[in-house]
């Protein structure tokens, strides 16, 4: 978010050209009913309606939330994004993209891990962040986005019309279970220890609570990387190739930064290098990081395959 040119921000990383000139099928509702108005500030977007989103981004910044139904961290982040966008009163819109249903958009944005959040300014992509982050950090990144938008003259404001011919508003999320709500509030306050305790209690009450398990893994990761210095961590890992704690620290930072395969390969290499009786903690950390991305992800499948070959 520091580059003054939105087109330079993701140069070579995102290719929207294949989607830019697509036309929505006849009868599809437009994203924007008219210049300056939308049916909702939060909307679902598909491969077919995406070109209209690019046009809308010439009026206001468009924040794209790439998510999937199976993604626990996505369910933590999406309500925060909706809350912040709504409070900005039409200065920003939120476009939700289900990557499972819209593979062309997933490919265009090169969404290697989700949740992934990217902004569009004047038709150009600008990176924001990957993974579920606390509300305060979301607000800080949105403030940077609005500053960048002002530099490029994207300073419009949209009215919410609720017109029947426009995109229908996204249904509100059901209320969180009490322990999940407690964990989420703690994450927003940066109190990761309290969030971990809440998720652990939820799992003690219901070991099959998949959302609590995903949330616990995510907040543990946030707790471990809080205040970490990436360069210092890399230097320590380079100086101690067999230092398990040092390798864990870099793997955590890589995963949080979206470098999923790098994180897995680092830990698999460490697993292979250690004596058999010292491998258990590395295997446990790998399984924890696999769960954060999801068993269906190709990178997890490949890493699991290598781990199995090392075990047997």
CATH number at residue 54: 3.40.30.10
**How far is it, in rounded angstroms, from Cα 57 to Cα 72?**
28
Residue 80 lies in a domain: yes
pLDDT of residue 17: 41
Same-domain status, 151 and 228: no
State pLDDT tens for residues 159-215: 877 543 444 444 445 677 899 889 888 887 889 899 999 999 999 999 998 888 888
Cβ pair 117, 139 in contact under 8 A: no
Residue 169 lies in a domain: no
Find tokens 């999923």 and name the residue: 260
Same-domain status, 88 and 191: no
Same-domain status, 234 and 300: yes
Contacts 24+ apart (CB under 8 A), 231-238: 237/266
> Domains in the chain: how many in total?
2
Residue 99 lies in a domain: yes
pLDDT of residue 2: 38
In sequence order, what DSSP letters do the residues of 66-133 get, joined into one string? EE-TT-HHHHHHHHHHHHHHHHTTTS-EEEEEETTT-HHHHHHHT-SSSSEEEEEETTEEEEEEES--
pLDDT of residue 109: 81
Same-domain status, 150 and 188: no
pLDDT of residue 169: 44
115 prior amide bond cis, ω within 30: yes
Distances (CA, A) of 88 to 22, 41, 295: 30, 10, 36
pLDDT less than 50: residues of the chain = 2-35, 163-172
Same-domain status, 126 and 204: no
Looking at 160, 194, 212, the residue that finishes a domain is 160
- Choose, from 19, 31, 71, 216, the residue flagged as catalytic: 71
pLDDT of residue 152: 81
CA geometry: angle 156, 74, 261, nearest 5 deg: 110
pLDDT of residue 35: 44
Domain that holds residue 100: 6-160
Helix (H, G, I), strand (E, B) or coil at 240: coil
Same-domain status, 143 and 197: no
Helix (H, G, I), strand (E, B) or coil at 44: strand
Pair type for strands 93-98 and 42-44: parallel
Residue 172 lies in a domain: no
pLDDT of residue 55: 82
The rounded Cα 303 to chain-centroid distance in angstroms is: 21
The partner residues of 34 in beta bridges, in order of sequence, read: 37
pLDDT of residue 213: 87
- Choose, from 10, 38, 62, 74, the residue flagged as catalytic: 74
pLDDT of residue 36: 60
pTM: 0.51
Cβ pair 30, 167 in contact under 8 A: yes
Same-domain status, 154 and 22: yes
pLDDT of residue 162: 58
Same-domain status, 86 and 199: no
**Residue 71 appears among annotated catalytic residues:** yes
**How far is it, in rounded angstroms, from Cα 81 to Cα 246?**
33
pLDDT of residue 38: 75
**Residue 122 appears among annotated catalytic residues:** no
**How far is it, in rounded angstroms, from Cα 218 to Cα 97?**
21
Nearest Cα neighbor of 124 from 160, 158, 149 is 149
Same-domain status, 27 and 151: yes
Find tokens 């070991």 and name the residue: 207
């Amino acid at each position: 978010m520091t580059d003054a040119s939105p087109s330079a921000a993701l140069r070579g990383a995102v290719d929207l050209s294949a989607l830019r000139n697509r036309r929505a099928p006849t009868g599809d509702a437009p994203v924007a009913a008219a210049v300056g108005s939308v049916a909702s500030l939060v909307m679902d977007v598909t491969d077919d309606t995406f070109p209209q989103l690019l046009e809308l981004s010439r009026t206001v910044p468009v924040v794209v939330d790439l998510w999937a139904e199976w993604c626990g961290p996505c369910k933590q982040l999406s309500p925060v994004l909706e809350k912040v966008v709504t409070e900005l009163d039409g200065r920003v819109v939120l476009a939700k993209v289900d990557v499972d249903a819209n593979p062309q958009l997933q490919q265009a944005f090169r969404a290697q891990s989700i949740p992934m959040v990217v902004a569009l300014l004047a038709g150009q992509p600008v990176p924001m962040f990957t993974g579920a982050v606390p509300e305060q950090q979301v607000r800080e990144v949105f403030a940077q986005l609005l500053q960048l938008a002002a530099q490029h003259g994207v300073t419009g404001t949209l009215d919410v019309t609720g017109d029947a011919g426009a995109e229908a508003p996204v249904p509100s999320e059901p209320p969180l279970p009490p322990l999940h709500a407690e964990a989420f509030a703690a994450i927003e306050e940066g109190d990761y220890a309290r969030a971990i305790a809440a998720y652990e209690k939820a799992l003690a009450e219901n070991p099959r609570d998949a959302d609590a398990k995903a949330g616990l893994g995510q907040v543990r990761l946030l707790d471990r990387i809080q205040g970490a210095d990436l360069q210092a961590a890399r230097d320590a890992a380079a100086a101690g190739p067999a230092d398990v704690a040092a390798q864990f620290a870099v793997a955590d930072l890589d995963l949080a930064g979206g470098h999923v395969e790098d994180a897995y390969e680092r830990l698999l290499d460490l697993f292979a290098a250690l004596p058999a009786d010292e491998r258990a903690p590395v295997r446990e950390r790998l399984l924890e990081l696999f769960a954060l991305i999801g068993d269906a992800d190709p990178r997890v499948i490949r890493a699991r395959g290598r781990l199995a070959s090392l075990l047997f």
